[in-house]
Amino acid sequence: MDNIRVDPYESVPKYHQLYTILRRRVEEKHWSPHEAIPSERDLEIQYDVSRTTVRKALDMLVSDGFLYRAHGRGTFVARPKLRQSLQLLASFTDDMRMRGFKPDQKILSLGRVEPSAHMRQRLELPAEASSVIRVERLRYADGDPIALHTAYLALTPEQEITRAELTAQGSLYQLLEQKFNLIVAEADQTIDAIVASEREAALLQVPVGNPLLFVVRTTWSHRRRPMELVEMRYRADSYSLTIHMTR
């Protein structure tokens, strides 16, 4: 039995309601992996929406990796996926919570610095911009230090951030959204392997020379302005990136 229905008076679009309904069904294992779900014409009738709306919902479920389609055969439940840490562009805070750890942080430094030429270019700073905000934070999972993050923010001199605000909010991205309406829309990342320097080793509590994942990310706001350049150094023994790819 299911009495979940798509409600035409909801402000949420119908295709999104249907997406949520079907996604829950998959996650609650109402169907088994590789089992066929009802056909698009069945769903059309069952939820009293057009086939276009059904297909929009299914498109999203396919691109999110919950379903796959086979022309002439049907639409099927995908194998359960491992939680992926990249792609969705989560903050460290959210990433840790999804992985089941309690996130914490220590702000090592916060202040304005003069941007390098490279930074000016990456952040598309205007010539008159004489400073960016630099935030260095040590980040913890369940009390253990696992990453060192150094962020450079393209903010005007009027746009300030205090330690107290960042400590209270926890997530830098959420703070930037609340204070300045800067919403992260996209990012480029490069991923490298490095070995820990003396300072990094001391902060992350690993021996000098231990491997670290080194991630450099540039983020753009929804207005398509560069907002942040951040270097992240992760202890390789307690953190790895997971990615799902589809062709």
Partner DNA sequence: CAGTGGTCTAGACCACCGG
Partner DNA sequence: CGGTGGTCTAGACCACTGT
- Site residues for DNA, 20-59, by CB under 7 A, read 37, 39-42, 48-53, 55-56
Taking the complex as a whole, the smallest distance from the CB of residue 177 to DNA amounts, in Å, to 15
Which of DNA, its own copies, none is residue 118 near (CB under 5 to 8 Å by kind)?
none
Is residue 19 involved in binding DNA (CB under 7 A)? no
Q: How many residues does the chain have?
A: 247
- Site residues for its own copies, 215-244, by CB under 8 A, read 220, 224, 234, 236, 240-244
Angle between helices 14-27 and 51-63 (to 10 degrees): 50
Which has the closest alpha carbon to 220: 185, 171, 174?
185
Is residue 123 involved in binding its own copies (CB under 8 A)? no
The tokens 């923010």 sit on which residue?
153
The tokens 């999804």 sit on which residue?
98
DSSP 86: S
The tokens 């294992």 sit on which residue?
29
Which of DNA, its own copies, none is residue 87 near (CB under 5 to 8 Å by kind)?
its own copies
Please return the burial class of 28, using the count of CB atoms within 10 Å of its CB with bins 0-12, 13-18 and 19+.
exposed
Is residue 111 involved in binding DNA (CB under 7 A)? no
In this complex, which beta carbon is closest to DNA, that of residue 79 or of residue 102?
Answer: 79
- Which x/- pattern over 66-105 shows residues binding DNA (rule: CB under 7 A)? ---xxxxxxx------------------------------
Q: Which two tokens stand for residue 4?
A: 């979940």
Distance CA 212, CA 234 (A): 5
Taking the complex as a whole, the smallest distance from the CB of residue 216 to its own copies amounts, in Å, to 9
Query: Binder to its own copies among 81, 102, 163, 199 (CB under 8 A)?
Result: 81
Taking the complex as a whole, the smallest distance from the CB of residue 107 to its own copies amounts, in Å, to 25
